A and B are shown apart, each in its own frame.
Chain A
Amino acid sequence: MKNAGIIFKKEIKEVIRNKNIWLPIIIITVIFSIGMPLFMIIGSESILRDEDTVNFITKMFGQVEDPLRVLIGFILKQLLIFLLVLPAMVPSLIAPSSVIMEKENQTLEPLLATPVKTSELLLGKSLTALVPAFVISTINFIILTLVVDIAAYLKLGYMPLPTAEWVIVAFLLSPILSFILTMASIIVSSRSTDIRSAQGIGAIIILPIYLIIGLQIAGFFLLNFIYLLVGCLVLLAVCPLVLRLAVKIFDRENILTRWKMKA
C-alpha cells in the first residue's frame, strides 16, 4: 500500500502540471456547469413564450400547473446527463498515458525492477485517474448546483437543486463510471504499443456515454431515479469483472513483453 501511495504522489504532481488534461476539463466545466445552466434558466421565461415549447411540455407532461417549474426540471435532467461526461472523460485522459508514457520513456522496466508489487502499481496508477475524476466531478456538481440555485432563486424565487437524482449521479454513478473507465483504460494501455493508439481506443471507450447523452436529447428516454438506480446496479456488477480483467492483464511480464520483445 505504501508503494501505491508513492506512485500516486508522483503521478498526481505530473497530472496537475499537465495542461493538456486541464484544458478540456475547464472548457467542459465552463460550458456545462456554468454557461448552459445560466443561459437556460435566465432564458426560461422567454422559452415559454414560444408556442412549440408549450405544446411540447403539454405533450410530454400533460396539463401542468406551473409549466416554468416543469421546464426547469426538464432542462436540469438534460444537464444531469452531461455531468457524466467528466467522470468518464478524466480517466480516459489520464490512465492510458500513465502506463504508456512509462513504456515510451522506458521507465517501466526500472520501476518493475524495484520491490513494488504489480497490484501496488495498478492501484497507484488507478488512483491517479480515479481521484482527479472524483474530485473534478464533485467540484463540477457543486459549481453546477450553486450556479443553478443562485440563478433560479434570483430569477424564479426557488432553488431546484440538489435532487435525489443529482445525488445518485454525483456520488454513485459518477465514481462507478470512473472506476470502470479507469480499469478499461489501464487494460487498453497495458496492451497498447504507443500513446496514440491507447488514447484512440480510450476515446472509443467513452462512446457509450455519448450515446446515452444523444439518446436522451433525442427523446428516447428521460433519466429518472429508477433508471439511474438500475444503471448503477448494472455497472456495479460490471466493476469486479473489469477489475479482475485488469489485474489479470496488468502483470509484469505482459506489460513488458507486449510492449517490446527483446531477446
Chain B
Amino acid sequence: MISVEDLTKKFGDITAVENISFNINESEIFGFLGPNGAGKTTTIRMLSTLISPTSGKIIIDNKDLQGKGEYIRSITGLLTESPGMYDKISAYDNLLYYSAFYDMPPSRRKDNIEKYLKMFDLWDRKDDLAGSYSKGMKQKLALSRALVHEPKILLLDEPTAGLDPESAHMVRNFIDSLKKEKITVFLCTHNLEEASYLSDRVCIINKKIIKVATLSELQNDDKNKRVEIVFADDAYRYLKIMEGIDKIKDITIDKNRAILVIEEPELSNPLIIRKLVKNGIKILYFNQVKVSLEEIYLDLVKNEGKK
C-alpha cells in the first residue's frame, strides 16, 4: 500500500531524514518510532504530500506521489501532532467543514460525522464550540476528522497524546479494529507500549532507519535475547565467575537474580550452566527473558548514537 524508496529530506543544510526505505502492506499497522528530531513528523508530512522529498520516491496505492497529491490526500486521513481545530465554531461544524473537501455525498458525510462523534463520546457536545473542548476531547475530534471521509490510509502522529487512560485505551482498541476495515495505519508514537500492542511491524528511525521488524523478530534477535538466572544466594558472589565466561556479554544483578546478555544463547547456555554448576553454584531457576520493545528501542537508539 505504501512504498518508500531512498527518501531524503533536507531543510537547507539540515538533513531531517536520510535515505529511508520501507514498505507497508494493506491493512497493516506500521509503528514508526524514534527520538525527538528523528524525522518522524517530516516523514508523515511527506507521506501526506504536505512537503516534498529532496530525493527518493514514495508510492501510495500504486501511484507515485509526484503530481498525484490530490488523489493521495483524498485517500489518506492525517492526525496531526496537535489537534488544531477552529475554536470559534462547533465541533460538528469543524467536521462538516473539513469533510466538505472530499468527494462524498453530503448525507454520507453527515452519517460518518455522527458515527465517529458517537463512537468517541462527543455527540452530546457536538454543538459546543471546539474551543471549549478539553485537550483529550480535541484529540478525539481530530481523530474523527481524520476518519470522516473513509480513508484507505490513516497517518497518525501521536494519537493518544493528551488522552486520559480510559480514552487512550478506547483509541487504541479503535486503531486495532481498523485492521478489520482494511485500513492501513502509519503510527508515529513515543509510546512504546502502544506501539508494541498495536503494530504489526515497527520501524525504528533516527534520521536513518535503524531497524524494521515485527516485535517477535526483534525479541528473537540474538542481540536481544536475555537469560535470567536465579541463584540460591546473593548473585554478586558469582559476578567474577560470570565475568570470566567469554560468551556472557553483559550482566545486570539484582539481589539473587542476574540478567545476562549471551552471545549465541542456544549454543552457549548449556556451557554456561555447566561452568556455573562446576563451580558449586546453586541455581534455582534459568529462564529466557522476553525483552520489551522499550529495552530493544533504547538499545538500538543508544548503539546508533555511538556510531
Please list the residues of chain A having a beta carbon within 8 angstroms of any beta carbon in chain B: 3, 6, 10, 14, 17, 105-117, 252-253, 256-257, 261-263
Question: Which segment of B33-41, B160-168, B170-178, B295-303 sits at the interface?
Answer: B33-41
Query: Does B76 make an interface contact (CB < 8 A)?
Result: yes
**Chain B residues with Cβ under 8 A from A107's Cβ?**
84-86
In the complex, what residue of chain A is closest to B83 when comparing beta carbons? Answer: A106
Within 8 A of A (CB), among B40-75: 41-42, 45, 48-52, 70-71, 73-74
User: Of residues A10, A109, A256, A263, which shows the largest number of chain B Cβ atoms within 10 Å of its Cβ?
Assistant: A263
A262 near B41 (CB under 8 angstroms)? yes
13 residue pairs bridging A and B, Cβ less than 8 Å apart: A6-B97, A6-B100, A105-B85, A111-B98, A113-B50, A113-B78, A114-B101, A115-B73, A252-B50, A256-B51, A257-B11, A257-B51, A262-B81
A121 to chain B, nearest CB (A): 10
Q: Other than the known A110-B142, A113-B49, A116-B101, what 11 A-B pairs have Cβ atoms closer than 8 Å?
A: A6-B101, A10-B97, A108-B84, A109-B50, A110-B145, A115-B103, A252-B50, A256-B51, A262-B41, A263-B16, A263-B17
| Complex: A263 Cα to B40 Cα, angstroms | 7
Q: How long is the Cα–Cα vector from A106 to B131 in the complex, in angstroms?
A: 13
Please indicate the chain B residues that have their CB under 8 angstroms from the CB of A116 in the complex: 101
Docked pose: A253 CA to B86 CA in angstroms: 21
* A256 and B50 contacting across the interface, CB-CB below 8 Å: yes
Which residues from A are CB-within-8-Å of B81? 262
| Chain B residues whose CB sits within 8 angstroms of the CB of A112 once the complex forms | 50
Rounded to whole Å, the gap between the CB of B270 and the closest CB of chain A is: 48
Whether B88 is near chain A, meaning CB under 8 Å from some CB there, is yes
CA of A116 to CA of B103, assembled, Å: 11
What is the minimal beta-carbon distance from B248 to any residue of chain A, in angstroms?
A: 39
Chain B CB count within 10 A is highest, among A3, A10, A113, for A113
A255 to chain B, nearest CB (A): 10
Beyond A110-B98, A253-B50, whether A263 also contacts B41 by CB under 8 A is yes
Residues on A with C-beta less than 8 A from B71 are: 115
- B267 adjacent to chain A (CB < 8 Å): no
B22 contacts partner chain A, Cβ-Cβ < 8 Å: no
Docked complex Cα distance between A117 and B103 (Å)? 14
The total number of A-B Cβ pairs within 8 Å is 77
Chain A nearest CB, measured from B11 CB (Å): 6
Is B82 an interface residue, CB under 8 A from the partner? Answer: yes
Of all A-B residue pairs in the complex, the 6 with the closest CB atoms, nearest first, are: A106-B84, A114-B101, A113-B78, A263-B16, A115-B74, A107-B84
B217 an interface residue at 8 Å Cβ cutoff?
no
B82: chain A residues within 8 A (beta carbon): 106
Q: Contact at A106–B101, with CB atoms within 8 Å?
A: no
The SS class assigned to the A binding surface is helix
Contacts of B37 in A (CB 8 A): 263
- A113, B76: Cβ atoms under 8 Å? yes
Contact B73 A109 (CB under 8 A): no
Q: For the complex, is B197 an interface residue (Cβ under 8 Å from A)?
A: no
Q: Which residues of B contact A10 (CB under 8 A)?
A: 89, 97
Interface residue from B52, B87, B97, B103 paired with A105 (Cβ < 8 Å): B87
Q: Tell me how far the C-beta of A146 lies from the nearest C-beta in chain B, rounded to whole angstroms.
A: 35
CB closest chain-B residue, reference A101:
B86
Q: Which residues of A contact B52 (CB under 8 A)?
A: 253
> In the complex, A114 Cα to B102 Cα: how many Å?
7
Assembly CA distance A114 to B83 (angstroms)? 15
Partner pick for A113 among B16, B48, B83, B87, CB 8 A cutoff = B48
* Chain B residue contacts of A17, Cβ below 8 A: 88
CB of B34, distance to nearest CB on chain A (Å) = 10
Which residue of chain A is the closest to B48 with respect to CB atoms?
Answer: A113
> Given A110-B78, A252-B50, A261-B11, A14 and B73 touching (CB < 8 A)?
no
CA of A175 to CA of B41, assembled, Å: 42
**A113 and B38 within 8 A (CB):** no
Q: Which residues of B contact A262 (CB under 8 A)?
A: 41-42, 81
The distance from the CB of A115 to the nearest CB of chain B, in whole angstroms, is 5
Complexed CA–CA distance, A257 and B11 (Å): 9
Once bound together, how far apart are the Cα atoms of A85 and B81, in whole Å? 42
Task: Indicate whether B80 reaches chain A with its CB closer than 8 angstroms.
Answer: yes
Interface centre among B45, B101, B103 (most CB of A within 10 A): B101
Min CB gap A44→B, angstroms: 47
* Chain A residues near B50 (CB-CB < 8 A): 109, 112-113, 252-253, 256
Chain A residues closer than 8 Å to B86, beta-carbon distance = 105, 107
Given contacts A115-B70, A253-B51, contact A110 B38 (CB under 8 A): no
In the bound assembly, the distance between CA atoms of A109 and B45 in angstroms comes to: 9
Query: Cα distance A78–B70 when bound, in Å?
Result: 51
Pick the residue among A6, A109, A115, A263 that contacts B80 (CB under 8 A). Answer: A109
In the bound complex, how far is the Cα of B149 from the Cα of A113, in angstroms?
12
Q: How far is the CA of A17 from the CA of B86 in the complex (A)?
A: 14
For residue B41, which residues in chain A have a CB less than 8 angstroms away from its CB? 262-263
Residue of A nearest to B52 (CB): A253
Q: In the docked arrangement, what's the CA distance between A3 and B100, Å?
A: 8
Contacting residues, chain B, for A115 (C-beta < 8 A): 70-71, 73-74, 101-103
* CA distance in complex: A10, B80 (Å): 22
